[in-house]
Amino acid sequence: MSRHRDTGTGGRPARLRRVLRRAVPRWPGRGRRGTAVEPSVLTARDLLGESLAGVLQRPARSVLTALGTVLGVGTFVAILGLTATTSSQIDSRFNALTATEVNIEDVALEQNEFVRLAFPDDADARVERLGGVEHAGVYWTVDTRGTDATVRSSPVGDAADGERAGITAASPGAIEAAVPHMAEGRIYDAYAERTAQPVVLIGAGMARRLGITTLETRPALFIGDQPFTVVGIIDDVERKADLLLSVVVPLSTALKTWGEPKSGGARMLVATEMGAARQVARLAATALRPDHPEYFKSVPPPDPRTLRGNVTDDLQQLFLLLAAICLIIGAVGIANTTLVAVLERTGEIGLRRALGARGGHITAQFLAESGAMGALGGLIGTSLGTLTVVGVAIARDWTPVLHTSTVAAAPLIGLATGVVAGLYPAWRAARIQPAEALRR
């Protein structure tokens, strides 16, 4: 008898013949009564082999199909890893800045007292004598209503030629508590504060706009018609970033030029050592005014754990939404490819059904193929996400933090995505009738 090569199986004749031989119904032997048919069986080994053959038959299309899952799972791993990594950095940053900062407000007006400025003249020295205090100083925003507060680099000119900027009165201790980084010059000292010298500090951005490029020529700027010598240009600050947008003058100079601040407008900024902020907040009001501690309200630093939790929760919600969108795109791609594969292999499906394969076998085969593509995308995405977390941590000189549960769950998410995406194509393949399929 001549042997004929099966050409209707899409390039897999040997494997398909072996699977079909197992699926062919076996009839009872002679002498037995009845016509019962022994059900066909699709073993796990055959199912795995067929699903891998289906994925590897068109490798380029399978890779492109799994790309959405790769992006989704990779984004998922990278987001959770980077969020965990940055959380540890947020902790250290809060400990270094927020946890060492105390703000004291002048609330004398709320006590029905006729006191415009409750802070005493030696407020800085009183608070700095407390244990754990590094720097402390009073500041307020100058009320320039009704006066010309235009900042110019020349004594004459229209208001439109100058810069509109806020004016902040600050003691040397308040500026030191803000931890300034000077581009040029220095901050004014206690002598300038004590003698009401007409000196100012300005931010680097304002200096560029005013055309001040160096302090070697002792440049001056004019606030209205009042001249002030620029003694320092601030490049950056670690606290109170609004100082970069203001013209900063000594307290005594502001009092002499514009008068006392409006009621309740004065504040004190205190920089403390690690762990001393809450203790300083409890003692500061009494140290400032033992006779009227109720004139002041001390604001201790917030709990860094609560603030960190709010920040990380917002980050996770935002970026996990992006990861979910990528997974949905990946699922749609897998579903589309699997559905196309069902249409292309209609003849193969009909032949399997005609030789005894049940609908459940067809469903399992296509679910296994879509699940394999999802799992493959999940594994690649997990690897790329892990490498992203490690790469960012190395570039930023951080310690990478990646939970084991995240790495373990990511490939399973890819597998689940592939299985869910293949449900409809597998159901449609199982409903193909053998006679209809073989006529095509």
pLDDT in tens, 406-417: 788 888 888 888
Q: Are 239 and 175 in contact, with CB atoms under 8 Å apart?
A: no
Q: Considering only residues 63 and 385, tell me which one the structure prediction assigns the higher pLDDT.
A: 385
Residue 269's pLDDT band (boundaries 50, 70, 90)? very high
d(CA 275, CA 133): 11
403, amino acid identity: H
**Mean pLDDT on 358-381:** 82
What is the Cα Rg of the chain in Å?
38
Q: Looking at the predicted structure, is the pLDDT value of residue 384 above 70?
A: yes
Continuous H helices in 249-403: 251-258, 277-288, 304-344, 346-354, 359-395
**Mean pLDDT on 174-188:** 92
**Mean pLDDT on 301-328:** 66
Q: Are 361 and 42 in contact, with CB atoms under 8 Å apart?
A: yes
Please tell me the predicted confidence (pLDDT) of residue 2.
Answer: 40
Residue 4's pLDDT band (boundaries 50, 70, 90)? very low
Residue 9's pLDDT band (boundaries 50, 70, 90)? very low
Percentage of the chain exceeding pLDDT 70: 76
**Mean pLDDT on 31-36:** 48
Q: Looking at the predicted structure, is the pLDDT value of residue 45 above 80?
A: no
Report CA torsion sign: 318, 322, 325, 330: negative
Please tell me the predicted confidence (pLDDT) of residue 321.
Answer: 76
Q: Are 437 and 350 in contact, with CB atoms under 8 Å apart?
A: yes
Query: What is the value of pTM for the model shown?
Result: 0.53
d(CA 97, CA 80): 25
Least confident of 24-33, 92-101, 185-194, 391-400: 24-33
d(CA 34, CA 29): 10
Tell me 119's DSSP state: S
Q: Are 411 and 73 in contact, with CB atoms under 8 Å apart?
A: yes
Of 322, 366, 359, 358, nearest in space to 340 by CA: 366
Please tell me the predicted confidence (pLDDT) of residue 277.
Answer: 86
Please tell me the predicted confidence (pLDDT) of residue 230.
Answer: 93
Q: Considering only residues 98 and 321, tell me which one the structure prediction assigns the higher pLDDT.
A: 321
Interstrand relation of 296-299 and 199-203 (parallel, antiparallel or unpaired) = unpaired
**Mean pLDDT on 297-307:** 70
Interstrand relation of 267-272 and 101-106 (parallel, antiparallel or unpaired) = antiparallel
For the chain, what percentages of helix, strand and coil (3-state, to nearest 5) are there? 55, 15, 30
Residue 7's pLDDT band (boundaries 50, 70, 90)? very low
d(CA 423, CA 76): 23
**294: helix, coil or strand?**
helix
pLDDT in tens, 218-265: 888 888 888 999 999 999 998 888 888 889 999 999 999 888 887 668
**Mean pLDDT on 349-353:** 74
d(CA 365, CA 162): 76
Q: In the numeric block, which tokens belong to residue 351? A: 């032949």
What is the rounded end-to-end Cα distance, in angstroms, of the chain?
Answer: 29
Give the position of tokens 């689940």. 416
Q: Looking at the predicted structure, is the pLDDT value of residue 159 above 70?
A: no
Neighbour tally for 417: CB within 10 Å:
27
Q: In the numeric block, which tokens belong to residue 94? A: 């809060």
The four Cα atoms 243, 244, 247, 252 give a dihedral, to 10 degrees, of 30
Would you list the domain boundaries of the chain? 42-91+306-438, 114-291
Continuous H helices in 155-300: 172-177, 190-194, 204-210, 251-258, 277-288
